Amino acid sequence: MHHFMLLALVALASINPVYGVTSNTSIPGVPQYVLDYVWLHSQEIYMPSDIQQQLDNTIPKVNWTSIEGVKSPLDLSNLDTLNSLGNTSVYLTSHDGIEASPQPAWFRGITPDKDGRLGNGTGSAIIIAERGNGTVDAFYFYFYAFNKGDKVLKMEFGDHIGDWEHNMIRFKNGKPDAIWYSQHSSGQAFTYHAVEKKGKRPYAFSGNGTHANYATSGQHDHAIPGINLPVGFVMDYTDRGRVWDPVVNAYFYTYDAKTAAFGAINSKDPVAWLNFNGKWGDDQPPGEPEIFGEAKNVAGPNGPKFKGLGRKLICPSKPCIVLPFRIWSGNSTS
């Protein structure tokens, strides 16, 4: 999906906020650095989704078989109880199936209103990790019920139920230093100075259907992980469409990398779901045909705890190149 995001930054109370950005959004107990918005692509169909809604429309399965001992109702406060029933092999499997026709309405999430809100839905989680030595990482996780894959030579690959994407901004001594954009299995890092902003707030552009995050609007070939070219065989498309403000309907947490423990900043947001070891969608269907190891329908993703929250670098893995500039990819509405 194409979305365009002004990243809202928050940090631990022990860190002095640098930016006194004027905003209508105030999170009690969470000092503000910069507040963010996400611009969804002008042709986006699969909007941000309420996280609990995914549980309401799925059933936990292992090897496509329902498992016994599941708490009912299953919610964000007890989701981690599934770990003892299947550990990482549990898939939150849709009642409808990935090839349901017509597609169920919940696949398409919640369209943000004119103020960028998801109504009563919560489709984002902001996780703050204090690293020591004046370094703080602010992760912005975005959830979508469905991911529409890319087309290669008119063949579609990579559809899956459940989709987690994220940005991360690293602060050093209270100042934003660099920003990470997740893109499929990889991503890109930029200096904070390099990215486009509105005031002090950086933009991110999300790929139409795939929700991969980019620093520029336009066309993006991601055939080579971490390399963003304006033309190629595996394309994402971004533009400045509908705005989503992922902060006003977010859950807010701290993360301790030493203990891998999450804490709710306001003591009210559910925490257990963050410890869930399974997948947020269906497994890859049995017998799904593959071409060069790629399939139209693939397995759903792991949640935020598997996205490198304890990373040392701005990137989740090496090599890590932090670009001091961005390349304009041109406009596109595909």
What is the residue range of 139's domain?
38-323
Residue 232 in domain: yes
Q: Indicate the length of the chain as a whole number.
A: 334
Please give the radius of gyration of the chain, using alpha carbons only, rounded to the nearest integer.
19
- Tell me the C-alpha distance between 143 and 125, whole Å: 8
Residue 10 in domain: no
Whether the pLDDT of residue 161 is over 60: the answer is yes
Q: Region 131-153: what's the mean pLDDT?
A: 91
Whether the pLDDT of residue 16 is over 60: the answer is no
Confidence grade of residue 208 (pLDDT, cut at 50, 70, 90): very high
Residue 234: DSSP 8-state: S
Residue 67 in domain: yes
Residue 333 in domain: no
Residue 15 in domain: no
Count of domains forming the chain? 1
Residue 148 in domain: yes
pLDDT digits (tens, 9 = 90+) for 77-125: 999 999 999 878 999 999 999 999 999 999 999 999 988 889 999 999 9
Q: Region 260-285: what's the mean pLDDT?
A: 95
Of 111-120, 157-166, 251-260, 303-312, the poorest mean pLDDT is in: 111-120
Average pLDDT, the chain: 85
Residue 69 in domain: yes
Token pair for 38:
């996400």
Residue 57 in domain: yes
CB 216 within 8 A of CB 327: yes
